[in-house]
Each structure stands twice: as structure tokens, then as C-alpha cells.
Chain A
Amino acid sequence: MSRTVSSATVVIGAGLAGLTSAIALAKAGQDVTLITKGLGGLTLSQGSIDIWGRTGAGLVTDPAQAVADAPAGHPYAVAGADAVRAGAEALCGWLDGWFEGDLHHTRLVPTAVGAWRPTCLVPAGHTVQPAAGQRWVVVGPRRMKDIQPELIAGNLARTPLPDGGFVRARGVGIDIAARAHEVDSSGVAYARALDEPSFRATFAEAVKAVVHEGEIVALPAILGLNDPEAFADLSKRIGHPLCEIVTPPPSVPGMRLDQALRAYAQQAGVRIVLGAAVLSATTDGDRVVSVDADTAGHVTTYAADAFVLAAGGFESGALEYDSTGTLSETIFGLPVTRAPGAPVVADYWADQPLFEAGLSVDASMRPLGQAGKPVCTNLHAAGGVIGGAVRWREKSGEGIALGTAWAAATAIEEATK
């Protein structure tokens, strides 16, 4: 006999979409349980909020306008620009002061390959916008293999800025150990070390030793994980403008955002259950009644009036494509839509139709089945499980998560009124 937990809404998934819909509903007074198999995708993300950064035509300079102009079938067109704006505003309100920027302007952040990557809302104070003629120095610990300063500087300096011109940049490696005798440390190891004021002092001295007057200092995004004062303290000690460089995962800015948002969700009353993989769902006619999840030592039944499926896409295992060519959504077995024709094509840089596959949803974010009707009246989707966009190419993942989560939460609220 399994234990049963009843809530108004059960959210499945702990990425930005899951957390946003859970918080929105909890703030509206609902009893919300969020169940998740693992940590959400935020921990792998760059920690900023993408809205729409690139199209086939190039850089998007006004993300909000791109959202408003989204083509039919794109998740933005289904959720609507209002939901995207409301979701982003809500997030900025919940994490007051965390982000800077606005939805009408693209910001650029340097990445570990030396690209100027477009994004929209960035962690306040952690970035410097590039401008022609600026002098940048990329400084990285040699013992962190995912940061190679010479490559980054070389590419930053040769990539034209949107308004024309280039920055000047050079790369320097420093020898500083996050942990004694370790030559192969992750960014997280450095970030934890930089939470300690004593290591910050040593680190700042090593950076200062290689920085020239008037240079903007780009450092890997490792400048503190849990200590919110770490960045400001380093900034003061080094005495130059600092800018964090997006790294491959594990991504420290993503982990910071994940921690902050989960803590906020819990404060808002969301019950978060980690390590709870959904095993099966029980339906009654056109309604989902409950889901069974594999929790520590036993199976727990989570019953609710409404459900939000925010489990992500292929990267999290929520979508699967098997060796016989069958596409499936792995939790509810919902129908997955993909463009006809070949799922993938030989040219790596071309659009791969498989990666646009996902659920089709109505304006209430309810997954659609045969004849365009919702499969269940109380089952909603949000985030990466929804098809119609290749988020990594567009730089649109967070915006779609926020917009679809907001639209799903709004629909659930309205249904309960």
C-alpha cells in the first residue's frame, strides 16, 4: 500500500519551468508539490535569462520584439508574449536585485570558446558589456581545464561587435590551486574555495599580478558559489571591472540561480521532493488523478487537481527516440509531434528536425492529442518538453520556460476559480 500525498497541483521537474510554475501557483495560494527525479537543468545553464538571442539571420537585438513576432507553432506564439513578459517580471520580482537588463535589449557575455554570446537578463554586476577599443584580459587558472585563456582571448578579439569594431584581448594563465596538490579542479571546486575570504585574497593577488592598468578582467564564472559577497569582494580586491565567462557544465552561475530559486520556492510554500522519479500515472476519463513516484524506500502516490509536466526534453530523458524510430514522452506517454521527413540530416550545422520535436499544446499549455484536443483537461506542460524550437540555437530556453510555465500556472489558477 503506497503513501498518498494530496496537493492542489503537482509539478514534475525542477528546472526553470517547473520552479516558475510551482512558485506562481504557491504565490496564488495553492498547495503545490514539486517532484523531481534529479536536479533541474538550471544547474547546467549559464545562469542568465535567454529570451531570444539568435535567428538564422543573425543576432537578435530586441528579444521582446522577436517573441512578439514568433512564427506559428513556436512555443512563444502559443504561450503569447504577455506570458513571457509576466513570467520574466515575476522572476525578477521573486529574486529581487538578482538580474539586470530588460527584455528589449540583448546583452553579450563572453564564453569559454571566446564567443560573444547573446542573452537578455544577466546576474547584476557580474558582466561588462563589450565596446570597441576596450582592453580585456582573460585570466584563468591553468588547473581548470575548461578555461583556456589564450583561445578565449583570441576569439573575443577577432569577433566583430554588433555595433562594429572589436575589443582588444589577451589571455593569461595563472597557477593557483583550489585544493592543495590538485591539478585537475572543476569550476565548482574553485567557486567553493572562493567562498573563503582567505583564498579570495590569494586568488586576487594572483590575478592582479598579471593584469595591466585599464584592463577589463574576464574570469571564469567561478567567483563564489554560496557566499553572495564573494564577487563584490573580489572586485574590490582586484580593483578592475570583472566579467564572468560562461563555462561548460558544471556551471556555477546556473547552480547559484538554482539554489536561490529553490530556496525561494520553499519559502513560498512549495513542497519539493527530490529523487522522485515518476513511475506511472492514474487517469479517470479525461483527468489525471495521480502519479506514482519512486521515492526513498517506497512508492508514493501524488494526487492533485492539476498537473504540470515540466520534465525537460531529450537531455533529461523526458523525451525519447528509440532504435525503431519511435518518439515518446516517457512519463505520461503523450503524443510527440515532429516535422515529417528525416529526423536528422547529414550536415551538422543544418537544422535537425528531431531536436524540434516535442509536445504540441493549446493556449492553456495542455498537450494535444488526436484531432487537436487536449489529452487531459487538467494536465499542462511547460519548458523543454514542448516542441517547436531548437532552444540552444535560438538562445531561447529560459524565455520559453518562463512563458510556458506562466501560461500553464495562469490556466490552472483560472480553472480553479
Chain B
Amino acid sequence: MRKLSAEVVVIGGGATGVGVARDAAMRGYSTILVERADLAQGTTGRFHGLLHSGGRYVVSDPESATECAEENAIVSRIHADAVERTGGLFVCAPGDDPGFADKFLAGASAQKVPAQEITLSEALRREPRLNPGITRAIEVQDGTVDGWRMVWGAAESAKAHGATVLTYHDVTAIQVEDGHTQAVFCHNRKTGEDVTIDCGFVVNAAGPWAGHVAAMAGCHDVEVVPGRGIMVAMNHRLVNTVINRCIYPSDGDILVPVHTVCIIGTTDHPADDPDHLEIPADEVQQMLSAGEVLIPGFRQSRAVHAWAGARPLVKDHRVSASDTRHMSRGMAILDHDARDGVKGMVTIAGGKLTTYRLMAKNTVDLVSEQLGDNRPCTTDQEPVPTATSGINYTITHRLADREAERPTGPLGQQTPNDLGHQVVCECELVSRGMLVDTIAAHPDAQFDDWRRLLRIGMGPCQGGFCALRTTGIAVERKAMDAAAATALMRLFIAHRWIGLWPILFGAQVRQTVLDSWIFSGLLDLDSVPVPAVPPAFTPPGEAAAAKTATATDKEVAR
């Protein structure tokens, strides 16, 4: 049993939780964040990558629009390395009401969302694949953001300000005594160690799982309804700016260029369990048809991966109508003192990735007020450690890095050989050096963690070539033995399949068959005996959810 203590414990390592941890740490509170899997493995890592300009909400939700516009500028600055300033267009497709564009422009003006109508010829010059039948086009300041990079940047910042981040830690119980939270009990899924954190305040930022966490402290009926949305990534950038349908917010109305792919999203359906999100065939068809409206020929392009994320939509009937001071549109902060008589605990849920920092600020404002010292928020002032250069992400950065590593000078007088310059993953231009450094820096990590850190295996071949190399290098670096590495390679391939089989058509069938010939036909991977995969590597939540439920019943009764 390990004993720790902190003034503030944050539960949940998504954008919101990490944002809260960073904010609290920057205000000088000793802070520990616990996350049951890797950072940004839930909703934060499962969205389309859009950094909203606010345009999407200028008609439907004006306050959100203004918040997005303000936060877009801040996030682009403090998370420069995670944000690509692609710009965006709102276009009226054939059949859409061109009059909506007038409402849009009026709303944008009123909400201070920068927007300007451009000529159709200019729009088509910028994005030649756009449907030539569009009737209006408005440019906005949409960007794209890598949710993982953003969260890691914020986590690094939090750590630099003294916070501790514990990943792969399940919260098993929250101790409440005399109406005040006392401690958070955790279980390290990798080492099996139990950890007790004595604390003064608990921030529940577990997103779609927030209801379970609140219940652990005896705060019941926090109803977070997971709103499931699917995304489909096409294997290259059909567009280089964010393309939005200029209509009232709907399904399949955005196409977002992120890294080497572009992503169409999304849908919205209530889900029962955020750990088991479906990617229904009819919704995939809906996305493809929606893509076809924006980009003729979209269906003939290659879909490379699909995934589903769960929006944490709070439906709380106990929040009184007057309790809106710390509420903002789309985000809900539940004060469990007022609501349940439990002091030292708030739940934050809802919101958007774009406004994660603002959500964190509002939450920690409340925490700080309850702790009685009202310390000011400074999170908008300081770039995170990974973004100190101030240079925004560009699609070509890895190509530039790899080119810089090439031997230079005349033959025979080149720079010394460096095995680190081997390209392990050609699709995403990941070098052996990057992989070896990552393995060394994250000794507890496994393949899916490395994938999120490096984007290894996320390109068109979906691990067909790099999975074997990564496995071999992990063994060679003694990060794990052949048995464990092979088990994880098989798990990695099976995990990739989760996002492949729902969109398996066209050229991706050909790629998958080639990969099958490699993995099974040539290598005979199917036959290598493998040990059971450690529990920490099972798909998010499967083992954890069951364990949490049992522990909750026991510990809360205490």
C-alpha cells in the first residue's frame, strides 16, 4: 500500500481532467491526477480533431460560439505544437438553403467570430475537390488539434508546476467522512499496487464515466448520458482546410484534415455504455453519403479507420435552476456540497475539446472559492512545455525531420551512420530513434501507448509493416521478452481491426488482405504461442468497470 497526499485529486485523464490538474497546479495547489488507462484514451482521443472557430454555433448556440472563438486563439497559442491552423470554410451544398449563410454571417458578427464570405471560384481554387455545385462559401478560423498532443502538453505543464500524474490507476473508492471527502483509493493496473491518496478536494472529471465516480462518494443520480458519435478517417487529405456544411448543426456536417488523413464526422446517438461503443453500418453509410455531398467521389476514396467517441452529456435534475453561476453552455459543474451535502467534491462534465481550458478554469475557480483563497487562473498566459517554440504544427514536419537526418555531403564523406535514422513506420515517418526514445521514456507503456505517442501504425497500412519492427525493437531494447511482445503485437493488430472492419471496403480490403498475407501467410503469426495479455492491456474499461462496481459497493458502505 502506497500512501500519497494532495490538496486536489483529479479523477480522469482526458482533456478536462488534465486541464483541471494543470490549472490547479498553476494556482499552487498540490495536485494528483489519476487515470484508469492512458491519458486521452477516452473521449479526448476519439473525436474528429476540430478546433472550433465558433462558426458551428453562431446560429444554434451563440454563447458557445464566442467561447470557442476566444479559446481557439488561446489554445492555438499555448498548445502551438498540437494545433494546425488550417482555416475552415462553411459551404452551402446544392440543395442547402443559401439563406442560412446570411443568418450565419449575422450571428458571426454578433458573436465576434471572425468570418468572411469568399467567392465560389476562390473557394474552389483553395479546395479543388469541393463540390462545384456549392452556392456560398464563408471562411472562418477553424483549426485542427491533436487531442493527444494537447493533453500531453498540458500534463507536462501540470508536472512542471508540481502535479503528479498516475496513469493506469483505477479509482476503487472515495472515502467520505463527516460529509467531507478524505481520500481516494486507487489500484495500479500495471503493478497491482494499491494506492491511497489523502486529499482535501476531489474533482471528478471522468467524462462519460463521471456518474460512476460520483456514486463512489455517495453522490447519486449524476446522470451522464454518453452521446455516441462515429468518425471515419479517409487515407489522405481530400481537403486541406476544415470543410463545414453551412446548415443548422447536423450529422456528417464536417470534414477535418488532421495529420495525413481527413476525418468526416459525426453522428449523435445515446449509448448505454461508454466502454462499448458501436460503429453501426448504417451510420458509416450516412457518413460516406454526407462526404459525397461535400466532395464528389468521396465513396471511391479509401476509408482507413473508423472510431466512436462518447460525448459526456449531463442530464442532472437535481441542479437547481439558480445554480448556473459556474455553468456554461455545454458544460456542467456540479457542486456536490450544495447538491448532495458532500464537501470537497465537484463533478465537471460536458463541453468541447476546444473549450477544455475554460472548463478547467471555471472548475478550479469553484474549487479555489471553496478552499477559501480565490487564487487567480493563469493557464492562458503560459505555453505548455512542448509548445514553447510557438510554432504551430505543420503536416510536413516529420518529413523535414527525416530529411534533416539524411546523410549529407559527397559520397564517402557523409555524416556518421546512425541506426536511429531507420524509418520504422513509413506511413507516419516514425524513425527508430523516436521509437527507442519513447520506449526508454515510457518503460511501462505498451504498443497502443506508443501508437498514440508516435502515431505508429496509424497510417494507410494500419501496422502491416511497422507492427513487426516495433515488436522486434521492443525485444531488442529489452523492454519486454518475445512472448509478451508477441502477445502485444497480436493485441495491437486485433485493436486496429476494431476500427477497420466497420469500414472495410474498396482499397482498404486490398490493404487488409495484403496485411493478412504478411501477418498470417508469410509470418504465421497466428501460430506463435502467446501468454495471456496482462489486465492493464485489456480494452479500456472491460476489466476495470466490473472491478469498480464491486469496490464501490463495499467501500461506500464503510
- Report A266 CB to chain B, min CB distance, Å: 27
Which B residues, 512 to 538, have Cβ-Cβ distances below 8 Å to chain A?
Answer: 513-514, 516-518, 520-529
Q: Is the CB of A150 within 8 A of B476?
A: yes
- B162 proximal to A (CB < 8 A): no
Residues of A115-169 whose CB lies within 8 A of B: 115-118, 142-143, 145-155, 158-160
For the complex, what is the distance from the CA of A317 to the CA of B521, rounded to whole Å? 18
Interface size in chain B (residues, C-beta < 8 A): 56
A346 touches B475 (CB 8 A): no
Residues of B within 8 A of A325 (CB): 505
25 A-B residue pairings within 8 Å (CB atoms): A45-B522, A46-B521, A54-B526, A111-B523, A113-B525, A114-B482, A146-B469, A148-B476, A150-B475, A154-B475, A154-B483, A155-B482, A160-B529, A173-B476, A248-B465, A249-B518, A313-B513, A317-B510, A320-B509, A321-B506, A346-B501, A349-B526, A392-B516, A392-B521, A393-B526
When distances are taken between beta carbons in the complex, the residues of chain A under 8 Å from B180 are none
Q: Which of these, B422, B471, B489, B501, contacts A345 with CB under 8 Å?
A: B501
The answer to whether B528 touches A115, judged by C-beta atoms less than 8 angstroms apart, is yes
Q: Chain A 36-68 against B: per-residue CB contact (8 Å), 1 yes, 0 no?
A: 000000001110000000100001000000000
The reply to whether the CB of B423 lies closer than 8 angstroms to some CB of chain A is yes
Q: Is B256 an interface residue (CB 8 A)?
A: no
With A154-B475, A177-B417, A321-B506 as contacts: A145 and B424 at CB distance below 8 Å: yes
A274 CB within 8 Å of chain B: no
Residues of B within 8 A of A317 (CB): 510
CB distance from A328 to the nearest CB of B (A): 12
Indicate which residue in B419, B423, B517 contacts A44 across the interface (CB closer than 8 Å).
Answer: B517
A180 near B412 with CB under 8 A, answer: yes
User: Using an 8 Å CB-CB cutoff, how does the interface string of B49-66 with A read, 1 for contact, 0 for none?
Assistant: 000000000000000000
A228 to B437 alpha-carbon distance, docked (Å):
42
Tell me the minimal C-beta distance from A157 to chain B in angstroms: 8
B476 touches A151 (CB 8 A): yes
- CB atoms of A344 and B501 under 8 A apart: yes
Partner of B288, one of A117, A142, A323, A346: A323
- The reply to whether A183 and B469 form a contact with Cβ atoms under 8 Å apart is no
Q: With A115-B525, A151-B486 in contact, is A183–B412 under 8 Å at CB?
A: no
Q: Which of B465, B521, B525 has the largest number of chain A CB atoms within 10 A?
A: B521
Asked, given contacts A143-B419, A151-B472, A184-B421, whether A322 binds B505 with beta carbons under 8 Å apart, the answer is yes
The reply to whether B501 and A148 form a contact with Cβ atoms under 8 Å apart is no
Q: What chain B residues lie within 8 Å of A183 (beta carbons)?
A: 417-419, 421-422
Contacts of A151 in B (CB 8 A): 471-472, 475-476, 482, 485-486
Restricting to A290-339, which residues have a CB under 8 Å from any CB of B?
313-317, 320-325
A251 adjacent to chain B (CB < 8 Å): yes
Q: Contact check: which of B418, B471, B517 meets A315 at CB < 8 Å?
A: B517
Q: Does A395 contact B (CB under 8 A)?
A: yes
Tell me whether B521 and A395 are in contact (CB under 8 A).
Answer: yes
Q: How far is A392 from B527 in the complex, measured between Cα atoms in Å?
A: 12
Instruction: Report whether B476 and A246 are in contact in the complex, using a CB–CB cutoff of 8 Å.
Output: no
Name which of B237-245, B369-377, B490-498, B548-556 contacts chain A.
B490-498
Q: Which of B411, B471, B482, B505 is the one whose CB lies under 8 Å from A323?
A: B505
* Least Cβ–Cβ distance between B2 and chain A, in angstroms: 33
Interface size on A, residues (CB 8 A): 65
Given the interface pairs A148-B476, A322-B506, the reply to whether A395 lies near B412 with Cβ below 8 Å is no
Assess whether B475 is in contact with A143, with CB atoms less than 8 Å apart: no
Cβ contacts under 8 Å, A344 to chain B:
501, 504
A391, CB-defined interface residue at 8 Å: yes
Q: Report whether A145 and B486 are in contact in the complex, using a CB–CB cutoff of 8 Å.
A: no
CB neighbours of A3 from chain B (8 A):
none
Identify the interface centre among B482, B493, B516: most chain A CB within 10 Å of its CB. B482
A-side contacts of B483, CB under 8 Å: 154-155, 158
Cα separation A369 to B318 with both chains bound (whole Å): 66
**B497: which A residues are within 8 A, CB to CB?**
346, 348
What CA separation (Å) do A145 and B481 show in the bound complex?
A: 18
Q: Mark A182-194, 1 if CB is under 8 A from B, else 0.
A: 0110000000000
Chain A nearest Cβ from B62, distance in angstroms:
38
Collect the chain B residues with CB atoms within 8 Å of residue A315's CB.
Answer: 510, 513-514, 517
A114 to B465 CA separation, bound complex (whole angstroms): 16
Cβ–Cβ contact B522 & A150, under 8 A: no
Min C-beta distance of A64 to chain B, whole Å: 20
With the chains together, A345 CA to B303 CA distance in Å?
Answer: 17
Chain B residues lying within 8 Å of A150, measured Cβ to Cβ, are: 472, 475-476, 482
Q: Decide if B9 is an interface residue (CB 8 Å cutoff).
A: no
Q: Is the CB of B522 within 8 A of A111?
A: yes
B432 within 8 A of A: yes
Which residues of B have CB within 8 Å of A347? 494
A199: Cβ under 8 A from any B Cβ? no
**Is A397 engaged at the interface, CB distance under 8 Å to the other chain?**
yes
Which A228-267 residues have a C-beta within 8 angstroms of B?
246-249, 251
Cα–Cα distance between A307 and B526 once the two chains are bound (Å): 37
Query: Is the Cβ of A148 less than 8 Å from the Cβ of B529?
Result: no
Q: Do A148 and B475 have beta carbons less than 8 Å apart? A: yes
Question: B407 at interface (Cβ–Cβ under 8 A)?
Answer: yes
Contacts of A316 in B (CB 8 A): 510
Q: For B513, give its contact among A111, A148, A314, A322 (CB under 8 Å).
A: A314
Asked if B468 lies at the interface with its beta carbon under 8 angstroms from chain A, I say yes
Partner of A112, one of B417, B517, B523: B523
Identify A54's interface contact among B299, B424, B505, B527, CB under 8 A.
Answer: B527
Q: How far is the CB of B66 from chain A (nearest CB, A)?
A: 39
On chain B, the residues within 8 Å of A155 by CB distance are 482-483, 486, 528
Residues of chain B contacted by A391 (CB below 8 angstroms): 521
Pairwise interchain contact B494-A349, C-beta atoms closer than 8 A:
yes
Q: In whole angstroms, how far apart are the Cα atoms of A315 and B481 in the complex?
A: 33
Most central of B422, B485, B509 by chain A CB within 10 Å: B509
Tell whether A314 pairs with B510 under 8 Å between CB atoms, given A112-B468, A344-B501.
Answer: yes
- A113 adjacent to B471 (CB under 8 Å): yes
Residues of chain A contacted by B506 (CB below 8 angstroms): 320-323
For A145, the chain B residues whose CB sits under 8 A away are 422-424, 432, 469
Q: A317–B511 Cα gap in the complex (Å)?
A: 10
Instruction: Indicate whether B215 reaches chain A with its CB closer than 8 angstroms.
Output: no
A246-B523 in contact given A142-B419, A150-B476, A321-B506 (Cβ < 8 Å): yes
Q: Are B520 and A113 in contact (CB under 8 A)?
A: no
Interface residues of A in 194-242 (CB under 8 A from B): none
Q: Which residues of B contact A148 (CB under 8 A)?
A: 468-469, 471-473, 475-476
- B454-500 residues at the A interface, CB under 8 angstroms: 465, 468-469, 471-473, 475-476, 481-483, 485-486, 489, 493-494, 497-498
Asked if B414 CB lies within 8 Å of chain A CBs, one says: yes
A113 pairs with B486, CB closer than 8 A: yes
Closest 5 CB pairs of A and B: A148-B472, A154-B482, A392-B521, A348-B497, A117-B524
Q: Looking across the interface, which residue of chain B has its beta carbon closest to that of A117?
A: B524
Taking CB atoms, residues of chain A closer than 8 Å to B504 are: 321, 343-344, 354
A417 CB–B CB distance under 8 Å: no
The answer, yes or no, to whether A98 is at the interface (CB within 8 Å) is no
Assuming the contacts A145-B422, A145-B469, A321-B509, asked whether A113 and B524 have C-beta atoms less than 8 A apart, the reply is yes
Contacts of A113 in B (CB 8 A): 468, 471, 486, 489, 523-525, 528
Cα of A275 to Cα of B528 in the assembled complex, Å: 39
Residues of A within 8 Å of B414, CB to CB, are: 181
- In the assembled complex, the Cα of A176 lies from the Cα of B81 at a distance in Å of 38
Within the assembled complex, what's the spacing in Å between the Cα atoms of A283 and B352? 60
Contact residues in B for A395 (Cβ distance below 8 Å): 521, 524
Note all chain A residues with C-beta closer than 8 A to B522. Answer: 44-46, 111-112, 117, 246-249, 251
- Interface presence of A355 (CB below 8 A): yes
Are B520 and A393 in contact, with the CB atoms below 8 A?
yes
Q: A145-B424, A323-B303, A393-B520 are in contact. List 5 more A-B contacts (CB 8 A).
A: A46-B521, A150-B472, A183-B417, A313-B513, A355-B516
